[in-house]
Amino acid sequence: MLDLAAVRAQFPALALTHDGGPRTYLDNPAGTQVPQVVLDRMGEALVEFNANMHGNFRTSERATEQSHRAHAHMAEFYNARSDREIVFGPNMTTLTFQMARVLGTRFREGDEIITTHMEHEGNNWPWRTMAAERGLVVKTVPFHRDTYELDLDAFGDMITSRTRFAALNVASNLLGTINPVKQMVAALREAGAITYLDAVQYAPHGVIDVQELDCDFLVASSYKFYGPHQGILYGREELLSSLPAYKLRTVPDVTPDRYETGTQSLEGQAGVIGALEYLAWVGREFGSDLRPADGELSDRTRDLRAGMRAMVAHEETLSARLISGLQAIDGVHVHGITDPAAFGRRVPTVSITAPGLDPAALATFLDAHGVYVWNGHSYALPVVEFLGIADQGGVVRTGPTHYNTLDEIDRCVSLVEQYLGAH
């Protein structure tokens, strides 16, 4: 069990106030707060070895070594086979546009790609742009509007001999649904298709194992798991090595260098190391009974997984309190899985609508009371369009994470009830 006082003490932002009162961060699906170790690692990089990499002098050598460490740490977080399968970029969307350009050369007019109505726009529009440029056929998997889970029968029917690629999210950034991507990847691999997984929303809330998933690509953003603004891509090495890379002549034609264009964010990579050190600390301090026994995993990977499992256990308690509280308010509709027995198939991202509700007005009211949430489409345009709520202002999205408390959840629910009661 997490010691919330010890956990919260790691995050300087949690001690700040809002007009003299507490701050309640429930905007975590769009980006989490960072622990002190992240700030320390970034400050160290900017002060002690703020130099470009691959030079023959001390600060450059330290910068180069730090970058190698960042790749190695992320390889363990994803359970990649090698740090050569890890590519850093400014964010998930930029990396995905880059890979759409690279992968597009493999496809021919009439080839088919599959995506879903649950995607974040960052895992939707790059591929639709690629498809339009290449004359590809795009098939979109619907989800059930009553269960908020993908229609797997429809998905199976979409796979044909022309299926070449699929872009799937691991967890919806608006509905919270965790999709059965391992099952879906297996079906696509049997058809010979390349798979690209968006794990941005899932990464703070579950263990990622690219070898178990058997996917070809997976991408996440460290600012969603307590780090700085960095995107980190896993790519199967044989694909990364054989695909065309748009790079300068001066860049070595090896992975990951051939995809990491221009000067990388040394301080960002250092902060990623700090975020993973924090997750491992949670595992050592509060997850000893959750540590996997698999001897093939490194100690750090086992610490990371124990930390993630300890965090998830607390988050499920927060989800249950938040969803039950919101459902008890007259008129509120939760768009996502609400059965506590099925919470293993969702992350704690919770979106609501209500008759006549202006999501922006409710978000503004909550902000006046120091509670931070998002409103609108949250870049999940395929979701709000499929639900038919895009022209209603989208949703109000709340998202607790492991450093939130039950008191914060109760405060948010009470304020939502107060606002709707007055409007």
pLDDT tens profile 77-125 = 999 999 999 999 999 999 999 999 999 999 999 999 999 999 999 999 9
Level-2 CATH architecture, domain 4-35+299-422 = Alpha-Beta Complex (3.90)
Q: How far apart are CA 288 and CA 47, in angstroms?
A: 35
pLDDT at 127 over 90: yes
- Is the predicted pLDDT of residue 213 greater than 80, yes or no? yes
Residue percentage of the chain with pLDDT more than 70: 100
* CA distance linking residue 192 with residue 211, whole number of Å: 17
Average pLDDT taken over every residue of the chain: 97
**pLDDT, tens only, 332-390:** 999 999 999 999 999 999 999 999 999 999 999 999 999 999 999 999 999 999 999 99
Lookup result for tokens 């649904």:
177
What pLDDT is attached to residue 96? Answer: 98
Domains 4-35+299-422 and 39-276 share a fold: no
Summarised one tens digit per residue, pLDDT across range 168-195 is: 999 999 999 999 999 999 999 999 999 9
Tell me the pLDDT band of 315, cut-offs 50, 70 and 90.
very high
Would you give the distance in Å from CA 139 to the centre of its chain?
23
Q: What average pLDDT does the segment 300-304 reach?
A: 93
Task: Assess contact for 110 and 239: CB atoms under 8 A.
Answer: no
Tell me the fold of 39-276: Aspartate Aminotransferase; domain 2 (3.40.640)
How many residues make up the chain in this entry?
A: 423
- Stretch 145-157: mean pLDDT: 97
Domain-by-domain residue ranges, the chain? 4-35+299-422, 39-276
Rounded to whole angstroms, the Cα distance separating 158 from 153 reads 9
Q: Is the pLDDT of residue 295 over 80?
A: no
Tell me what pLDDT residue 297 has. Answer: 87
Report pLDDT for 356.
Answer: 95
- What is the per-residue pLDDT for 29? 98
